[in-house]
A and B are shown apart, each in its own frame.
Chain A
Amino acid sequence: MRCLSYSEEGERRVELFSLRDISPDLKILLLREIGFDSDGTFVLDNNGEKVLDRYINEPIRIDNMAIFPGSSVILDNNPLSISSFLEEYGDVI
């Protein structure tokens, strides 16, 4: 599923691609493609350490992650982390 996003001025923003129906194997492939990894449950960094959500300081599960382009910010897909991201980076998505 893809969700198109526009600003109030009609400017195209980053497109949202839902991972809901993507298999765990493909999610792990996706993570590896962008420089991360997984143990099948959590997102790991390239040292094999669990990646923590920067706003709630909790490990990120591959069944509930949000990955934003640019510096590849990976978050837990919950309202607090997402709102904190938008507060820090502005309405980029």
Chain B
Amino acid sequence: MSSDENVIAGVTHGALAYTEDKIKAVVQRFRNKEIAFVEDPEVINIAKEQRGTAEYGLLREYSDNPDFHILFQMGLTLRKLQRQQNRVESLRNKILKKYEIGGLHIAQLIQNGFFNRYLASALERARTPKQLRLEIRNLLDAIENSVVFVKENDNVDFLAQTIIIKISATNPKTFIICASGWATRRCREVEWEIKKWLRTGTLRYEFETYTSKYREVFLLIRLEE
């Protein structure tokens, strides 16, 4: 690579040639706050890239919670790394350890684009930006009572009953049932059971469904009196 190409790429090679004296010289630049040391600059570049996306900029608008900001970024990063299964698993484990299952579910909502479907729906319903922010905050704060990720091997009847019990107990403004990949078929079966329950009129919810080849999002929205 020519020096011109290095400038274009923003990368200079030569680390293998570093000696003790050269390391000390680089440390001086570190002390002058000109340089940071990283094992793999790609990790930082990916983090910065996600922070610069329009999607993150939009998501950030709707929450003041720094933890949610980080989880939004983690969702986008999981999406970016989706073909690198080892890195995805490692990151999922770190998210789970720090933010528990609720945090991981927030990141997964972003990763799979499910949150965008919800946001589109919420935007149509909210009367004011303040109301929209409140609805989003309520959803994310109580995510374990508001979202179910259907898995391929889930038992449809059991899961549908669990969802009905959750909704009956907490009466959330919005409840999201979602799935990706092979689990989308199972998700549709769960939806069918939930729709049957809705027809009994026990609770007043309307629903919206977003379907694509590999994703299914079923939104239940509480009808206001």
A contact residues vs B (CB 8 Å cutoff) = 1-5, 8, 14-22, 26, 29-30, 33-34, 55-57, 63-70, 77-80, 82-84, 86-88, 91, 93
Contacts and interface: CB of A to CB of B under 8 A. Distances in A.
A42 B141 CA distance: 36
A17 B29 CA distance: 11
Central interface residue in B27, B36, B48, B91, by most chain A CB within 10 Å? B36
A3 B10 contact: yes
Given A34-B27, A56-B94, A78-B90, A64 B51 contact: no
Interface string B3-29: 000000011111110111001101101
25 contacts: A1-B41, A2-B12, A3-B41, A16-B36, A16-B44, A19-B39, A20-B40, A21-B16, A30-B27, A33-B24, A34-B30, A66-B37, A67-B30, A67-B37, A69-B30, A70-B33, A77-B44, A78-B90, A78-B91, A80-B94, A82-B44, A82-B47, A83-B51, A86-B47, A93-B48
B126 interface: no
Interface stretch (B69-77, B129-137, B152-160, B170-178): B69-77
A39 to B, nearest CB: 18
B63 interface: no
Contact of B47 (A8, A56, A83): A83
A9 B109 CA distance: 32
Interface in B35-75: 35-41, 43-48, 50-52, 66, 69-70, 73-74
Given A30-B23, A77-B39, A80-B74, A22 B15 contact: yes
Given A1-B15, A2-B12, A82 B43 contact: yes
B97 A56 contact: yes
Contacts of B51: 83, 86, 91
Contacts of A34: 27, 30-31
B124 interface: no
Given A1-B11, A82-B47, A87 B66 contact: yes
A62 to B, nearest CB: 9
A83 B74 CA distance: 8
B35 to A, nearest CB: 5
Contacts of B66: 87-88
Given A3-B45, A33-B27, A78-B90, A18 B39 contact: yes
A87 B98 CA distance: 16
B224 interface: no
Given A29-B20, A55-B98, A83-B73, A66 B36 contact: yes
